[in-house]
A and B are shown apart, each in its own frame.
Chain A
């Protein structure tokens, strides 16, 4: 049981990210790679994710402004985005990506647009939550080992 109140708060916050479905096991794999020599590894990877994926989001936005929709291109962009999101364990974002791709395959433009709006919300929400988590982690000091959520 963690005695340090800030670390307890950190553990509670971390558990909520998994319990509420924002993150999956891939995030734990990232944490398991972090060590004393690379104490900010997870945050660095997540930062790179938001940088890379931000470009893809922009590409999709621009593609959705062009009519008629190029569903093959939209699908290709989202495939790339989904792959990146999977790499950090972004569970809800990944789910919306899958749905978007299904709408691409069925040539449903309205479905694509609706899902993309939802995806952007989940993407932004996760970013906020992870930023808060990393800020708290920095204040709390190093956490000893990654542990899988029960």
Chain B
């Protein structure tokens, strides 16, 4: 995938995190790569967006959030039939807790904060996923 392909995409993303700082940071990271980004403050808001008919190619999901955490939101979205790429972004350092988060239905899990390298990887994965589906 060329650098031009990476930036010239029609991809959409949802950043789900209760920290305004992280939402701002990840939103900017994704926008730099040409994605159209929305944000949600917690898992319930994310699920509600999908229930209202919104869809996104990529969801960045924090784990620890009030009202509905990332694992619960991920499970709910998968039960609803959401096939978006869901990527956990967490500061959890327990392997056991990360594994449990992955098992909720994540495609990948990264440590906060995301880096440009992480995003390039995700865009390549999304590109591969789109090619497989077409």
Whether B28 lies near A52 (C-beta < 8 A) is no
Question: Which B residues touch A80, using CB under 8 A?
Answer: 64, 91
With CB as the reference atom, state the residue of chain B lying closest to A50. Answer: B21
Question: Which B residues touch A49, using CB under 8 A?
Answer: 21
Whether A86 lies near B32 (C-beta < 8 A) is no
Given A33-B28, A86-B112, A87-B113, check contact A48 B91 (CB 8 Å): no
Contact of B112 among A29, A30, A44, A87 (CB under 8 A): A87
Q: Shortest Cβ distance from B119 into chain A, in angstroms?
A: 11
CB within 8 Å of A: which residues of B? 19-22, 24-25, 28-29, 32, 64, 91, 93, 112-113, 115-116
- Is A127's CB within 8 Å of the partner chain B? no
CB within 8 Å of B: which residues of A? 26, 29-30, 32-33, 38, 41, 44-45, 48-49, 51-52, 79-80, 82-84, 86-88
A-B contact count (CB 8 A): 42
Whether A33 lies near B20 (C-beta < 8 A) is no
Given A79-B91, A82-B91, check contact A87 B20 (CB 8 Å): no
Whether A33 lies near B29 (C-beta < 8 A) is yes
Question: Which A residues touch B93, using CB under 8 A?
Answer: 79
